[in-house]
A = this chain, B = another copy of it.
């Protein structure tokens, strides 16, 4: 925590969320990355480090167009996240206030259990926590919420094309899953992005538990 900055500055919020998500198992083994837009600046976690030990000064700051504004102290020898181009592409196309990339097991399992390239969710109350991005309204719990799955690539920045297509084909979604890899999710603010990540994780886990218990369908009544 840097007490000279506002409590909700990305330099304070991102390290706090990293600790939370590490303890959740959503950022294991240096996996995952977080970004928050603050004015015209995008704050992004560095690459390949223990996420739960990130400090306020460790973040990279870029414009939406990818220009570098500032970075961590050079003596720390931190590297920019390979996720940066993926994040910036989403900021340009969707205009969110934050984009998170998580390696949560529930999201990976969702990609491995799906029979086609879409995860379908319905008849669960927590669906109401998910925004229908094209309209700005939240979903009804009876909606069929569809989240696209794209193929994984060897380099993170190679995901950009698949992501763009998925966002075009699923204009309502506020998340894209990457097969065997994890989730990219966004919201209007960091708070909304945090809430939507919790909702997806919860919903994917319910789907997994149902599958494991041998239940194939969620009854409405």
Residue ranges of A at the interface with B (Cβ–Cβ < 8 Å): 25, 28-31, 50, 103, 105, 108-109, 112-113, 123-126, 129, 140-142, 151-152, 154, 178-182, 191, 194-196, 198-199, 201-202, 205-206, 208-215, 218-221
Contact = CB atoms under 8 A, between A and B. Distances in A.
Contact of A179 (B31, B105, B208, B219): B219
17 contacts: A28-B126, A28-B201, A29-B126, A29-B195, A30-B195, A31-B129, A50-B195, A103-B202, A112-B215, A112-B219, A123-B179, A123-B180, A140-B154, A151-B221, A179-B219, A212-B212, A212-B213
B124 A218 contact: no
B112 A196 contact: no
Contact of A124 (B30, B108, B125): B108
A195 B47 CA distance: 13
A181 B25 CA distance: 23
A216 to B, nearest CB: 11
A198 B219 CA distance: 26
Contact of A126 (B31, B202, B211): B31
A105 B215 CA distance: 15
A141 B213 CA distance: 25
Contacts of A28: 126, 198-199, 201-202
Contacts of A219: 112, 179
Contacts of A213: 109, 113, 208, 211-212
A151 B199 contact: no
Given A28-B202, A50-B194, A220 B151 contact: yes
A92 B31 CA distance: 30
Most buried by B among A29, A124, A152: A29
Q: Which of A123, A125, A215 is packed against the most chain B CB atoms within 10 Å?
A: A125
